Structure 1
Amino acid sequence: MRGRAHVAALGLLLAASPAAAAGFVDPLDQPAGPSALAARRPLLSVARAGERLVAVGERGLAVFSDDGGARWTQAAVPVSEDLTAVRFASPRLGWAVGHGGVVLATEDGGARWERRLDGRGLARLLDAWARDGAGRIAPAALAQARDLAARGPDQPLLDVWMDQAGREGFAVGAFGLALATGDGGRSWTPCLDRIENPRALHLHALLEARGTLYLAGEQGLLLRLDRAAGRFRAVAIPYGGSLFGLASVGRALLAFGLRGTVLRSVDGGPWQAVEAGVEATLAGGTALPDGRLALAAVSGELLVSADGGATFERVSARGAVLAPAFAVAPAGDGALAVAGAEGVRVVALPRPREAP
């Protein structure tokens, strides 16, 4: 213990030295470094791009697999900021967001990524929006934009969503940060005034379910896009804790988060709590091609529902050591791609039980 403390203190002194400062390279200017173990490093999000699987995570790492997760190839990424979410509108067209206000885009299914926005440009964008919006935009939204701009490049984005055409979309993040695009992410506009979030709570997850776009955040914040008004309006739910994800299957929509919390609404009806059977925070969820729904916990536990999220069954990774899981995506052939603290792996799920 004492030896480790001594090494840690020495490391802090070295990091504060002029030599260390001179050698610092901003992660926004440093492409992700090559790593033979990229698929085993912490990865925070995973998605399907047609038949391909794509995962992103710490220090700009992005990997893809064309054989169901048997082999992974590292992608070319122009930054080394942590990437928090990845989303595809088609097998080739996708987006990723992350810390440092980073928005990336790919047009080849995730093999190569290009910068669309970063925290430096975002801070300028927010500042200009606040100045130009005086007299037009609500004072509270302008003040929020100025506060965000004052943070400089440190602007964590936590999720991104695009429509099927790859044109209209949103990116959301910490402290109520919200951006909109109408050109596939080539340009972005702050949309803080279009979101009912007066306390500037963190915005964690976006999901379109049956033609309606939902947005989940901390302290029980759940919003639904009113397309006619162009605004995200608050949805009343019986929960005040943080929500980290959304999932939809059939007629059911689920919101999930802290301490194994799962809330469920059917056909837009009242929200009810569901017993998930775990106490750990639920961080990821997805619908499966066979009609089931899967959730992942930061404890590494995986849950599967065959009745639209009304009940859940815990499944094992067939002997694998449980590691914190952050996101899941269908991997084909009854399997689940799981991104987490030990990289991305593909888990074979038990086959659905036949109806009696």
Structure 2
Amino acid sequence: MKAKFALLLPLLGVLVAQPVVAAGLPDRLERPSRITPLAAQSLLTDLQQVGDNIVMVGASGHVLVQGADTSPMQSQVPVDLLLTAVHFGDAQHGWAVGHDGVILHSTDAGLSWRKQLDGRDIGKLMLDWAEAEVARLEEASAESPDDEALATALDNAYFAVDDAKAGVEAGPSRPLLDVWFRNAKEGWAVGAYGMIVHTRDGGQSWTFVAGLDNPERLHLNSVLGLDDGTLLVAGEGGRLHRSSDGGNTWAAAQQLTDASLYKLVQLSDGRVLTLGFNGTLQVSHDQGQGWRRIALPVEASLYGATQLEDGTLLLAGQGGTLLASRDGEKFQRWQAANKVALLGVAPFNGESLLLIGSDGLKRLSRADLKEQLQ
């Protein structure tokens, strides 16, 4: 699974040809995304409603802002690489993440963006943490030379230093896969090989988070904060990580399933859902402590979700699958004619839905959805 990141959209099985950087051209972290009328027809990976608009991100650094009565407008973006997720902490302040560990920030509801961080910076954060951990454990081991647990932790810290140094030398190669902000100041971004970074000042500074129970460094695909302050992270191999104190400490990882989990969603009544590979859907009624599998009429992998004003839950997935449910338990299926992957869905303009995926942006009327549900 970890080999996918060179040529594939992480974890979704959607082929994405990465741009080849020719001699003399600037690095894609330094090259602005190209403004093109075809942006709405290329891969789009995530979207969020921001005020009356929908903000979408995707391939080649594309960010689109869809207004209620306008065509989608492409934003100015300083990087030319795959963006994987977007989240706004309020109506103006948003963050987008993607390949090469990039983190972008907008202060104008997605109309313009600037780079806050990339994989080169994250590599240095990881190295600083690992070296500090070695110094701390060497001092503790000197005071307790017979403590086997300390000796094991020190060996792991030595490995972490070597790994971080190798990452710094290799350059920004680890993608970020999701981002979530509690407000305009505090947020988290998660990604490949167990990577998490955290900010308390709106992204002016970031810290590397190392407290999760993830010794295999499995990919972390989704992060979500709940209304009660609980923080959840889901990822590869069905692992679920939970913090009840805002990320300061983490409980032992839960393995909900063997299938990888791609998305976390909280519904209006407080229920939390995990979506994942091969039709995996699980629900928690207690802020992520306990989980129950929900049976679905298809085995399509699920990547995105939204809840409409009337409570209807929509799940977007593989092969053009859109699942609809009034109660979050029993689902009906709508199938896109071209069967391309759907990666997200959002309500739009009262009468329509916006669908995003491997062939870009599509609009579906709610009347057509209702008529065609199976």
TM-score bin, normalised by smaller chain:
0.7 to 0.9
Structure 1 letter corresponding to 2:319: S
- From 181, 188, 194, give the equivalent of 1:162: 181
Question: Quick check: 1:225 aligned with 2:243?
Answer: yes
The Cα shift of 1:26 comes to 1.1
Distance (Å, rounded) in 2 between the aligned partners of 1:349 and 1:142: 56
The Cα shift of 1:148 comes to 4.7
**For structure 1, which segment, 140-149 or 123-132, has the greater mean C-alpha deviation from structure 2 after superposition?**
140-149
What SS does the aligned partner of 1:245 have? strand
What SS does the aligned partner of 1:205 have? strand
What SS does the aligned partner of 1:123 have? helix
Q: Indicate if the aligned counterparts of 2:239 and 2:260 stay in contact, CA closer than 8 A.
A: yes
Q: Indicate if the aligned counterparts of 1:284 and 1:297 stay in contact, CA closer than 8 A.
A: yes
Instruction: Detail structure 1 runs of 4+ shifted over 4 Å in the superposition.
Output: 350-353
Distance (Å, rounded) in 1 between the aligned partners of 2:89 and 2:224: 13
Q: Which residue does 1:120 correspond to in 2?
A: 120
Distance (Å, rounded) in 2 between the aligned partners of 1:142 and 1:294: 46
| Structure holding more helix per residue | 2
Distance (Å, rounded) in 2 between the aligned partners of 1:175 and 1:61: 25
Q: Which TM-score applies when normalising by structure 1? A: 0.85
What SS does the aligned partner of 1:56 have? strand
Q: How does 1:264-343 map to 2 (within 5 A)?
A: 264-268=283-287, 270-307=290-327, 309-316=328-335, 321-333=338-350, 335-343=352-360
Structure 1 letter corresponding to 2:48: A
Distance 1:142 1:64, change over 3 A: farther
The Cα shift of 1:228 comes to 7.0
Distance (Å, rounded) in 1 between the aligned partners of 2:251 and 2:162: 23
**For structure 1, which segment, 136-145 or 215-224, has the greater mean C-alpha deviation from structure 2 after superposition?**
136-145
Structure 2 letter corresponding to 1:328: V
Please give the per-residue CA displacement for 1:224-263, whole angstroms capped at 9, x wherever unaligned: 1220771232453541210001122113211111111111
**For structure 1, which segment, 235-244 or 79-88, has the greater mean C-alpha deviation from structure 2 after superposition?**
235-244
Distance 1:210 1:341, change over 3 A: same
Give unpaired runs (5+ residues) of structure 2. 1-19, 138-152
- From 172, 194, 213, give the equivalent of 1:196: 213
The Cα shift of 1:112 comes to 0.5
Q: Which residue does 1:9 correspond to in 2?
A: none
Q: Which residue does 2:77 correspond to in 1?
A: 77
Distance 1:256 1:184, change over 3 A: same
What SS does the aligned partner of 1:134 have? helix
Structure 2 letter corresponding to 1:39: A
Distance 1:337 1:256, change over 3 A: same
Identity %: 37
The Cα shift of 1:21 comes to 4.9
What SS does the aligned partner of 1:127 have? helix
Please give the per-residue CA displacement for 1:96-135, whole angstroms capped at 9, x wherever unaligned: 0000110000000111000000122222222222223323
Structure 1 letter corresponding to 2:116: R
Distance (Å, rounded) in 1 between the aligned partners of 2:111 and 2:158: 38
Q: Which residue does 1:10 correspond to in 2?
A: none
Q: Indicate if the aligned counterparts of 2:68 and 2:349 stay in contact, CA closer than 8 A.
A: no
Q: Indicate if the aligned counterparts of 1:247 and 1:287 stay in contact, CA closer than 8 A.
A: no
Give unpaired runs (5+ residues) of structure 1. 1-14
What SS does the aligned partner of 2:254 have? coil
Distance (Å, rounded) in 2 between the aligned partners of 1:302 and 1:143: 44
Q: Which residue does 2:15 correspond to in 1?
A: none
Question: Quick check: 1:259 aligned with 2:278?
Answer: yes
Question: Quick check: 1:150 aligned with 2:166?
Answer: yes
Distance (Å, rounded) in 1 between the aligned partners of 2:48 and 2:292: 28
Q: Which residue does 2:41 correspond to in 1?
A: 40
The Cα shift of 1:175 comes to 0.3
What SS does the aligned partner of 2:217 have? coil
Q: Which residue does 2:147 correspond to in 1?
A: none
The Cα shift of 1:346 comes to 2.9
